[in-house]
């Protein structure tokens, strides 16, 4: 399930209902639903906030939490191939939160090439390990520059 639908489901609201109340077309919400949070404008956040009855800054924070729980795109491939490793997932989530707290926002990870190769559980976990190593190196570099 994509970010917008996942968020709206928490409030038992459909994109159709959101479109009716917000004045933004259902088609536009559908397009936005396929994209990451970085594509949401202030107008979109305000419209969502109006419909669910929360301040727009709270909507943004809640959406960011959902993105982090998505492990920046890793959740989709983990779920698709029924791979789970709570320790690795928590480590990745912690690193993503640390980068976010430093003001760095990553575009979601994609796995097109990996999926072309029909990955095994070990391939997916190796990709996660490599990502963790890379993020640790980035954080170390950021901290050494401060």
The pLDDT, as a whole number, for residue 101 is 76
Contacts of 88 (CB under 8 A, 6+ apart): 125, 128, 129, 132
Describe the crossing of helices 121-145 and 86-101 by its angle, rounded to 10 degrees: 30
Domain that holds residue 81: 72-145
* Same domain membership, residue 79 and residue 62: no
Mean pLDDT for the stretch of residues 61-85 = 86
* Same domain membership, residue 137 and residue 77: yes
Q: What is the mean pLDDT of the chain?
A: 90
Q: Are 52 and 14 in contact (CB under 8 A)?
A: no
* Same domain membership, residue 141 and residue 95: yes
Tens of pLDDT, residue by residue over 44-61, are 999 999 999 999 999 999
CATH at 39: 1.10.260.40
Give CA angle at 122 (121, 125), nearest 5°.
85
How many domains does the chain contain in total? Answer: 2
Mean pLDDT for the stretch of residues 132-137 = 96
* Same domain membership, residue 61 and residue 82: no
Give residue 128's pLDDT band: very low, low, confident or very high (50, 70, 90). very high
- pTM here is 0.59
């Amino acid at each position: 399930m994509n970010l917008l639908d996942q968020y709206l489901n928490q409030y038992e609201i459909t994109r159709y209902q959101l479109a009716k109340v917000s004045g933004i077309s259902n088609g536009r919400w559908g397009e936005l639903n396929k994209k990451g949070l970085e594509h949401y404008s202030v107008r979109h956040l305000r419209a969502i906030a109006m419909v669910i009855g929360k301040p727009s800054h709270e909507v943004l924070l809640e959406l960011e939490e959902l993105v982090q729980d998505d492990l920046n795109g890793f959740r989709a491939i983990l779920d698709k191939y029924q791979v789970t490793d709570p320790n690795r997932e928590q480590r990745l989530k912690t690193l993503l939160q640390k980068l976010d707290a430093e003001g760095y926002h990553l575009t979601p990870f994609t796995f097109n090439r990996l999926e072309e190769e029909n990955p095994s559980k070990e391939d997916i976990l190796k990709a996660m390990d490599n990502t963790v190593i890379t993020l640790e190196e980035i954080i170390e570099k950021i901290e050494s520059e401060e």
